[in-house]
Amino acid sequence: MNLSNPNTKIVNTKLDELYARFAAGKLSQPMHVLVAAHLAMRGEGRAYVSALEGLAGGMLERTPPLALSNRDACLKGIFAATNPAASQLPAQSLMPAPLHDFLGKDLADIKWRRRMPGLREYTVSKQNGVEANLYLIKAGHGIPSHTHEGSEFTLVLKGSFFDKVGRYTAGDIAIADSELDHHPIVDKDEDCLCYAVIDAPLHLTGPIGRIFDRFM
């Protein structure tokens, strides 16, 4: 990310909050995958996230225990289990492992949908107001001006793009709030592959909604 950008500090605060929600397990699955993939690609946030996870791990150990109803059966099941074959990430994959596992397929097997010239889209999941898409954007092309209900989080997997806030390269997360009139443009030298999640609008109701509502 362009560090000379005056908005970098704000972005970092938002990123810190995202890290905290990730560490605490309070993100929806597509968002959790986005942050995990970002951490797999970029080292900067890892130590902070590890520190927060360490706090959470300490809390787990201090949680008052609640006996299992089926302790012996549970142990028996565990001792009977065998190691499943590990899925192998194809060499040279553009997909960080967490995203690859979430997709359940390789990039080559994705059936893209053409949204407009220069922009292809693949919807990974759409559930409870959270929509996750992969975008493949041709060099020099942009996504037309748009705003969203809820925030949009975009992880750059390959190539780079810029918007009003800054420039984003592989491993960066761009955060666009609902207020932001968003018009990202891909740099001219390379096509851009992104994983983007539009997170749930706030204040959903019901048990699932409550989970999303945490930490917003």
Partner 1 sequence: MTNHVVSIPINTRKKNLCLTGKLDPELRHNSGQNHLNGQIYAIATSRVNFALSSYSFNLHNSMKRGASLGLSTRLLESILSQSLTAQDQIKLVIAVAQRRDRDAFIVLFDYFAPRLNSYLQRLGSPSSLAEDITQDVMQSLWLKAELFDPAKSSLGTWIYRVARNRRIDSLRRERLDYFDPQDLTQNAAMDRPSDEPNPETLLDGWQREVMVRHALEALPQDQVDLIKLAFFEDLSHSEIAARTGLPLGTVKSRIRLAFTRLRRQLESTGLTDAGF
Residues that bind partner 1 (CB under 8 A): 13, 16-17, 20, 23-29, 32, 36, 39-40, 43, 46-71, 74-75, 77-79, 81-84, 86-87, 89, 97-98, 101, 125, 127, 207-208, 210-211, 213-216
Q: Which is nearer to partner 1, 57 or 90 (CB)?
A: 57
Q: How far is the CB of 140 from partner 1 (least distance, A)?
A: 34
**Cα(70)–Cα(80) distance, rounded to whole angstroms?**
15
Q: Which is nearer to partner 1, 91 or 144 (CB)?
A: 91
The strand pair at 192-198 and 185-186 is best described as unpaired
Q: Which residues, in sequence order, are CB contacts of 29 under 8 Å at separation 6+?
A: 102, 125
Q: Which is nearer to partner 1, 53 or 191 (CB)?
A: 53
Q: How far is the CB of 1 from partner 1 (least distance, A)?
A: 17
Q: How far is the CB of 78 from partner 1 (least distance, A)?
A: 5
For the packed helices 46-62 and 8-23, what is the interaxial angle rounded to 10 degrees? Answer: 30
Q: Which is nearer to partner 1, 114 or 214 (CB)?
A: 214
Q: Which is nearer to partner 1, 74 or 116 (CB)?
A: 74
Q: Are 168 and 178 in contact (CB under 8 A)?
A: no
The neighbour count for residue 193, using CB atoms within 10 Å, is 20
Q: Is 95 helix (H, G, I), strand (E, B) or coil?
A: coil
The neighbour count for residue 112, using CB atoms within 10 Å, is 12
